[in-house]
Amino acid sequence: MDKTVPDLATAVQGIETGMTLMVGGFGGSGAPVELIHALIDRFRATGSPGKLTVVNNNTGNGRIGLAAMIDQGMVAKMICSFPRSVDARAFTERYLAGQIGLELVPQGTLAERIRAGGAGIPAFYTPASYGTDVGNGKPVAEFDGKHYVQERWLKADAALIKAETADRLGNLTYRRAARNFSPLMATAAALTVVQVARIVEPGAIDPEVVVTPGIFVDRIVAVPNAKQEEALMRGGVAYA
């Protein structure tokens, strides 16, 4: 029942070339920087995993985390709502050169597609994007006199997320606004890997405050002094 693993390299085992990977975080808030860097380390050593489809709200910032993964050429396609940031060179250069794909999804639709994926709902209707270029070509239906666009669920082979505290059964709490997409991604991936600031014994987290129940979590790795992506970016750090 103990879902803890000893180190980051073990935590990211089984994430292979061609997979769809969800990565938690909104900008730097909640970005699982150490898990991403562990995946980059393996890619550098073995050439795998590459050709990944990555789901995140953004496409990274500066030369660290998700941006560094794109820089390494590990990502074939991004599914995101806002592929811009203060320093979006990594994605922008590859996109304009035709070296990386982009599926642009309105932010609320992205969240709901992931939620639906985790909840066993194959499709749903949303008002977002009706009558726009983004909604163009998707099935449309009218409910109570208003038009809605059909969207499909989004699932992944694996999710990398960051939480604050986990017990050994995988129950999670998050820190401030760092939860964003992570509780949804935890439900929608076949393999959910979580880096946490601290691991506690079962019973040490009040059941009233659990945000992600352990049923959605497969592996937990302790990263006590995790780097904050925004702080790294502002410090000019590059992981390359």
Partner 1 sequence: MSAKLSNAQIAWRAAQDIEDGAYVNLGIGFPEMVAKFQPRGKQAIFHTENGVLNFGEAPAEGEEDWDLINAGKKAITLRPGAAFFHHADSFAMVRGGHLDVAILGAYEVAENGDLANWSTGPKGVPAVGGAMDLVHGAKRVAVITDHVTKDGKPKLLKRCTLPLTGVGCVTRVYTSLAVVDIEHARFVLREKLPAMSVAELQAVTGAELVVPGRIGDLVAPEL
Per CB under 8 A, residues contacting partner 1 are 26-30, 81-86, 88, 91-92, 95-96, 102, 104-112, 114-115, 126-134, 174-184, 211, 228-231
Closer residue to partner 1 in complex, CB, 16/93: 93
User: Left if phi > 0, otherwise alpha if psi is -120 to 50, otherwise beta: which for 231?
Assistant: alpha
Taking the C-alpha atoms of residue 223 and residue 73, their distance in angstroms, rounded to an integer, is 26
SS3 state of residue 230: helix
CB of 151 to partner 1, least distance (A): 12
Tokens representing 186?
């935890």
Nearest distance from C-beta of residue 93 to partner 1, angstroms: 10
Specify the residue, 5 or 102, whose C-beta has the smaller distance to partner 1.
102
**222 burial type by CB count under 10 A (0-12 exposed, 13-18 middle, 19+ buried):** middle
Nearest approach in angstroms of CB 16 to partner 1 is 27
Nearest to 59 by CA among 26, 107, 99: 26
Q: Which two tokens stand for residue 44?
A: 């550098």
**Is the CB of 166 or the CB of 184 nearer to partner 1?**
184
Nearer to partner 1, 29 or 43 (CB): 29
Q: Residue written as tokens 């085992």?
A: 13
Q: What minimum distance in Å lies between the beta carbon of 44 and partner 1?
A: 27
Structure-token pair, residue 27: 């900008």
Give the shortest CB-202-to-partner 1 separation in angstroms: 23
- Of 11 and 178, the one with the shorter C-beta distance to partner 1 is 178
Give the 3-state secondary structure percentages of the chain, helix then strand then coil, rounded to 5: 30, 30, 40
